[in-house]
Chains A and B, each alone.
Chain A
Amino acid sequence: MEVGIVSYGAYVPRYRITPQEIGRVWGSDGEAMSKGLMIYSKSVPAPDEDVITISTEAARNMMKRVPEVDPKDIGALYVGSESHPYAVKPSGTIVAEAIGCSPNMTVADYEFACKAGTAAIQTCMGMVGSGMIKYGVAIGADTSQGAPGDPLEYSASSGGASFLIGAKDVIAVINHTSSFTTDTPDFWRREGQEYPSHGGRFTGEPAYFKHITSAAKLVLKNMNSKPTDYQYAVFHQPNGKFPQRVAKMLGFTDKQIEVGLLTPHIGNTYSGAVPLGLSAVLDVAQPGERIFVVAYGSGAGADGFDITITDKISRFNRPAAPLVSYYIQEKKVIDYATYAKFRGKIRIKEEVA
């Protein structure tokens, strides 16, 4: 059985704020931050958007491309995020109802910093591959926030993508997945805390780089492949620079990571980052092309994938939903005050009847 991606869909909110604007308010050199992080703007959700609405739009885009798939044949749906609207009550049940696949199916929400979405893909692969379900939906989406004035504020952004995993009419076969997981506290948020904390430079070498390179090497070893075998590579992208560095460390080129590197334009969409990067590649990939994917989640773990595009993609109805490039271009720049208002950073008066 060839298990893989049957369809996919993406969504990125249209508002943007620039590092220069954030720096202006906090008395930091926003221009320097922008250059240092290689981020030109980040996406901001409207007050009426959240992980549930983003996941729903992405999942609906995914379904629009495969009208022949009956939503009732979806046996499982998982939403991975670190900004689920409820601390207790799954996002997935609302998304499942909104795409018409409930009630005879299973749902759970995932959490593993930025790799919750790829963990969902792995689960769906197992459930489809074992014959338990016909189709599974794996979504990675976030409306992440950084504390005001903190370096993370320059990058934490919003967006998501959804994948329909199945074994029939697959447009991209997932040949293999390997993961590398350890207990590494590089980035965390305690219950009740408004904003996450991070270990500063500890988030680099012992966290991001160690886990991505380890998972990557596992994939290459298990697939007996080398970087030049792949036309595209998508790495987790907390800023524009880390993926360039890890690509170089592993032997991948800037050209290979170019299509899937979205953070410079929309910021770090956390659980949405690798799913969106992969979606951007699927928007242009041709039959026979091969994609190398490694997601990273703080805490820490990395999920690696080896993917080959099938010739089914030539008949795949991509234009039925907007491409990632459409969402990147559809933008409205806002100032810090509007951003703070949208993101609930301004203390609002408690309503009095």
Chain B
Amino acid sequence: MATARFWRENPSRYNLKAIRCGNCGKVFFPPRAVCSVCHRKSIGKMECMNLKGEGEVYSFTVVHEAPSQLEMLKPYVVVMVKMDEGVMLTSQLLDTDPQEVKIGMRVRTTLRRIGEDGAGGVIYYGYKFAPIKA
């Protein structure tokens, strides 16, 4: 049972809680204590923020051999998305025909079930991506 390990990340998994270095402006997701560019100069200057949830597809794949938890969804699309704040996230892309996925397409986050600790265990929720319709 990994309850606490998932619960602890909810602010980032539900609301995209990130952190910005007050020294150089670089955004990190998930939040980290120190800027990896500025090191000591960033201590005490890290500012919490939530990502807006929009970005564009940087790369993608269609997964056919799925881990046991994702058997129901295969084949599913996995994307790396460059968020508007500069930081990149990895998750699934919903509601899109695999043939229609394009590098550069605009997407937004939405809350979905990302796993569970078995049929009797806690359900985990987190972000997945959906296309932004024009």
Contact = CB atoms under 8 A, between A and B. Distances in A.
Interface of A: 14, 46-50, 52-53, 56-57, 60, 85-86, 94, 97-98, 100, 332, 341-342, 351
Contacts of B73: 46-48
Contact of B110 (A47, A57, A332, A342): A57
B14 A97 contact: yes
Contacts of A57: 110-111
Contacts of B15: 97-98, 100
Contacts of A332: 95
Interface of B: 10-11, 14-15, 50, 68, 72-73, 94-95, 110-114, 118, 123, 125, 128
A75 B68 CA distance: 40
A57 B111 CA distance: 7
Contacts of B113: 47-50, 52-53
A-B pairs with lowest CB-CB distance, top 5: A48-B112, A47-B72, A48-B113, A98-B14, A56-B111
A48 B95 contact: no
A86 B120 CA distance: 9
A230 to B, nearest CB: 34
A97 B10 contact: yes
A53 B125 contact: yes
Q: Which of B14, B111, B112, B128 has the most chain A CB within a 10 Å cutoff?
A: B111
Given A53-B112, A57-B111, A351 B14 contact: no
B13 to A, nearest CB: 10
Q: Which of A14, A46, A332 has the most chain B CB within a 10 Å cutoff?
A: A46
Given A14-B95, A57-B111, A97-B14, A52 B125 contact: yes
B123 A85 contact: yes
A339 to B, nearest CB: 13
Contacts of A14: 95
Contacts of B94: 46
B122 to A, nearest CB: 8
Contacts of A49: 112-113
A52 B125 CA distance: 9
Nearest to A86: B123
B68 A351 contact: yes
Given A48-B112, A48-B128, 19 more contacts: A14-B95, A46-B112, A47-B72, A47-B73, A47-B113, A48-B73, A49-B113, A52-B123, A52-B125, A56-B111, A97-B10, A97-B11, A97-B14, A97-B15, A98-B14, A98-B15, A98-B125, A100-B15, A351-B68
A57 B94 CA distance: 14
A30 B71 CA distance: 31
A56 B94 CA distance: 16
Contact of A341 (B72, B95, B111, B118): B72
B73 to A, nearest CB: 6
A100 B11 CA distance: 9
Contacts of A50: 113, 123
A322 B110 CA distance: 14
B72 A98 contact: no
A26 to B, nearest CB: 23
B125 A94 contact: yes
14 contacts: A47-B72, A47-B73, A48-B73, A48-B114, A49-B113, A50-B113, A53-B110, A53-B125, A56-B111, A85-B123, A97-B14, A97-B15, A98-B125, A332-B95
B15 to A, nearest CB: 6
Contacts of B68: 351
Contacts of B125: 52-53, 94, 98
A52 B13 CA distance: 14
Contacts of A94: 14, 125
A86 B118 CA distance: 13
Given A97-B14, A100-B15, A53 B72 contact: no
Given A48-B128, A351-B68, A98 B123 contact: no
B31 to A, nearest CB: 16
B120 to A, nearest CB: 11
Q: Which of A46, A48, A49 has the most chain B CB within a 10 Å cutoff?
A: A48
A100 B15 CA distance: 8
Nearest to B17: A100
A85 B116 CA distance: 11
A207 to B, nearest CB: 33
A60 B118 CA distance: 28
A351 B115 CA distance: 14
Nearest to A98: B14
